Amino acid sequence: MPLRIGTLSLWYLGVFLIAIRLRDFLEVDAIQQEIAEWSHPHMAALKISSGLAFFSYSLAAYLLLYFLYERFRWYLLLPALATLAMGCMFFRSFLEEVVILNLFGHGNYNPNMSWGAYLLDNLYYAILFTSLGIIYYFVQLSQHKSTALQKTMILQKETELKFLRSQVNPHFLFNTLNNLYALVHTNSPQALPALEKLSGLLRYSLYEQEPSVALEREVGYLRDLLHLESLRVDGLAQPQVVVGPFTREWKLPPLLLVPFVENAFKHGDLKDFSHPLQLSLTESTDGSTLFFRVKNLIRTNITSKDQVGGIGLPNVRKRLALLYPGLHQLSAGPQGDLFVVELVLSQPIKKQADIAPRLTPEASNRFDPGWSS
């Protein structure tokens, strides 16, 4: 925590003017009287000395807590605070009854006043300005801890997101290499185009380090993934895809939507032409909400290998919770014979100057996504 004596000085000045001088300023001809006092060297010296003495209470309490509060228990610091306050009283006495007395011939108090009466008279200032130093320290400490906690939470969030991202990359690398292996093993003429697609997938998944990318890039990844999967799966029914149109510049975390499509190929029956894979990515009419849906027929003859849970959906749920707290809705589960994933995202975005669609639907067979905007 930084040492901020300058800010403490401003706090002290405000309290001093309100608690000590406000009553004087409210009196008749207060300004003229104040000017007259400051023009008198003795009175000016007394004002300066009392101001320094009062500030010493706040400064001493603040410095004591700053250097010792976290090292000792609070009740051990109380005697030290009382001792410092007593020392500040003697500091004022030295300034006014020694220094100023020698300079101007008389000090601030009656020379015949006892030490007990002097200390009692200064008790009000000691309590007031010592309390100011204590309060200022704890206010600064609270702000410092709050800022440190926020930084820690941000760091933890970034670390967790990087960890989740590191899980996604090898996950997709494994699956796409399996796809390519199947094509090469069968001497398929699609092996080279598939290798080119795979290169694009790996480049995006391994080297895209931005926290968010343009929606077109995520959609491009989905298209390449669909292409690779269509080459791998014999007898695949033509997927029905609806993308856009969009009137806003949407950005998404890389690889956010991909696990939903991958799970459809892993667990779905995509060879039934009456129930092809359906994918829809659209936005609401006002452009404030993004809708994503994947529907596929549930495969009945799932092997024990495919029944083993992966990291896809749980990973996405964690990423959504970190990146879109309170700004997303995700449902994924069976609806009759179909497995349906529905994701709704909302985020503050700037409207384009040109609201012409950025992405147009490319599927020849559209389907109604079933969302009302």
As averages over each run of 10 residues, the pLDDT of the chain (373 residues) reads 89 85 61 72 86 92 89 83 91 89 83 83 89 93 82 60 52 65 74 74 62 83 80 78 85 83 84 88 88 90 50 75 85 90 74 37 37 34
Rounded to 5°, angle at Cα 264 from 262 and 268 = 140
The pLDDT value recorded for residue 364 is 35
Of 38, 37, 42, give the one whose Cα is nearest residue 107.
42
* C-alpha to C-alpha distance for 233 and 253, rounded to whole angstroms: 28
The pLDDT value recorded for residue 193 is 75
Identify any residues that bridge with 290 across adjacent strands, giving them in sequence order: 283, 345
List Cα–Cα distances, 98 to 38, 102, 107, 265, in angstroms: 21, 6, 7, 91
Question: Are 58 and 20 spatial neighbours (Cβ–Cβ below 8 Å)?
Answer: no
The H or E element containing residue 304 is: helix 304-307
Task: Sketch out the chain's domains with CATH numbers.
Answer: 5-149 (no CATH), 188-346 (3.30.565.10)
* Upper half-sphere CA count for residue 187 (Cβ side, 13 Å): 0
Of 292, 281, 288, 290, give the one whose Cα is nearest residue 349.
288
The torsion of the CA quartet 35, 37, 43, 47, rounded to 10 degrees, works out to: -50
**Cβ count within 10 A of residue 127:** 12
| One-letter amino acid for residue 274 of the chain | S
